[in-house]
């Protein structure tokens, strides 16, 4: 018998939602979503993440534009930005006469990005459990300086990604799930298997093309086209520069 509970059912059926009805996310629901996000684990309990959200239509429009022109963001009711926040921990250290240096290390940046990613996923799951739809938005890094200014982010903070929240349109809610690479080429017992990776990519190339054809999604690239199209370029080129301007550095010492 298949073991399926409400949480698994939700996780096994999750998908990005890019079309919203425009209906409101209630304040009460939003608070619950934020409380659930805040329950996430954080490295050393540093709680080095802050969220900056907006319901302001004009601001959401600006974010949609800054994110490289993503019209689906505009139809969301709420936009949340996940911010690495070593400003909080620097204050804590300074208040007892100590100096924080972790933000000037590769380790510190990995800590912040990991914590932000965990929190983004929890926030989205909480929102979905209440019937809302979400999409993670890495596009906020396309014009990072303008976003930092828009959100008035101080030194030792950095916006990593965002998430839309809204009421999904009927079509988006009922859209098919995008397939994934075969499970055996994604999860390995004991040791990594490069051969399975390659077999999995070839299989997935076929699976995703079939998915595209079956669902008349002509706009969807194949996996190889999609990943090569992005990764043959460094598509956001000012990340290191603005990390530095915000007081971070990606170094071991």
Residues of the shown chain interacting with ligand FMN in the complex, contacts defined by CB under 6 A: 15-16, 18, 67, 70, 135-139, 161, 178
- What gap in Å lies between CA 17 and CA 184, rounded to an integer? 27
Residue (25 or 119) nearer to ligand FMN, CB:
119
In sign, the C-alpha dihedral spanning 212, 184, 229, 72 is: positive
CB of 161 to ligand FMN, least distance (A): 5
Residue (73 or 148) nearer to ligand FMN, CB:
73
Residue (130 or 136) nearer to ligand FMN, CB:
136
CB of 245 to ligand FMN, least distance (A): 22
Beta-strand relationship, 49-54 and 78-85: antiparallel
Residue (100 or 209) nearer to ligand FMN, CB:
209
User: What does each C-alpha distance from 199 to 20, 131, 193, 223, 232 come to in angstroms?
Assistant: 37, 37, 10, 13, 22
CB of 247 to ligand FMN, least distance (A): 23
CB of 95 to ligand FMN, least distance (A): 33
**Nearest CA-CA partner of 18 in 167, 131, 220:** 167
- What gap in Å lies between CA 237 and CA 33, rounded to an integer? 33
């Amino acid at each position: 018998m298949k073991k399926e509970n409400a949480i698994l059912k939700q996780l096994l059926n999750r998908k990005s939602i890019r079309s919203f009805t425009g209906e409101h996310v209630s304040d009460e629901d939003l608070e619950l979503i934020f409380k659930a996000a805040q329950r996430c684990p954080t490295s050393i309990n540093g709680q080095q993440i802050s969220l900056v959200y907006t319901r302001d239509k004009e601001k959401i429009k600006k974010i949609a534009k800054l994110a490289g022109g993503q019209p689906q963001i505009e139809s969301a009711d709420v936009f949340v930005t996940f911010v690495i926040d070593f400003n909080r921990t620097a204050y804590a250290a300074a208040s007892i006469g100590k100096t924080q240096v972790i933000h000037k290390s590769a380790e510190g940046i990995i800590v912040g990005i990991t914590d932000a990613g965990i929190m983004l996923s929890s926030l989205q799951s909480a929102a979905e459990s209440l019937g809302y739809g979400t999409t993670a938005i890495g596009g906020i890094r396309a014009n990072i300086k303008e976003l930092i200014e828009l959100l008035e982010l101080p030194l030792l903070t950095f916006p990593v990604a965002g998430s839309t929240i809204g009421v999904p349109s009927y079509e988006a809610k009922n859209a098919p799930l995008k397939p994934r690479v075969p499970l055996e080429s994604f999860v390995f017992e004991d040791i990594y298997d490069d051969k399975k990776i390659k077999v999995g990519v070839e299989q997935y190339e076929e699976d995703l093309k079939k998915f595209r054809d079956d669902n008349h999604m002509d706009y969807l690239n194949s996996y190889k086209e999609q990943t090569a199209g992005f990764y043959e370029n460094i598509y956001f080129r000012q990340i290191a520069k603005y990390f530095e301007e915000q007081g971070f550095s990606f170094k071991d010492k």
